[in-house]
Amino acid sequence: MRTMMAMGVMTGALMLGACGTSDASSNDGGTVVLRNLAETEVAAPKPARLDIVGDLIPTPSDARSDYYLLRHRSTLAGTSIAIIRQEHDDRVAYARTEVDCGKRLFHVVGVAPTRGRVESDVAHDGPLRSIHGMPLREELARYVCERSGTPLAGA
């Protein structure tokens, strides 16, 4: 009985450990770090020829990368879902984000090396949370909210 219980605990610990360490784009709190996403295993080499159909997002807090808003839509809950492409050096990564413009909340719901895969990926970034003290997320949220027709609420 004790052996079975110990094996169950060990199996559970191994599974949790595997889940917790599989995403190098996350920090200790489980938040996906968008600023470094193109430097992780999530990213892919930048194609030699690719016409980006999207808008360059001004991100003064991260002058090393270019961020493009490729697509956005409103949800029934009143939030906005956006597909964002990050280019850094010769690497690209995609993030699917959700923004609550009225409450100044943001989270990442998917990351992937291609636009097609980001639509179905789950990034486990947690619930919508405040963008306070997170300049890159605030810049991205502001742009997505403006494009969605709902300005980002004041701080």
- State the DSSP string of 75-128: -TTS-EEEEEEEEETTEEEEEEEEEETTTTEEEEEEEESSHHHHTT------S-
Q: What is the pTM of this model?
A: 0.77
> pLDDT tens digits, residue range 48-103?
777 777 999 999 999 999 999 999 999 999 999 999 999 999 999 999 999 999 99
Q: Is the pLDDT of residue 12 over 50?
A: no
Residue 30: the pLDDT is 64
Element (DSSP H or E) covering residue 73: strand 66-74
pLDDT band with cut points at 50, 70 and 90 for residue 26: very low
Q: Is the pLDDT of residue 151 over 50?
A: yes
- Which of these, 37, 91, 28, 30, lies nearest to 62 by C-alpha position? 37
25 and 33 in contact (C-beta within 8 Å)? yes
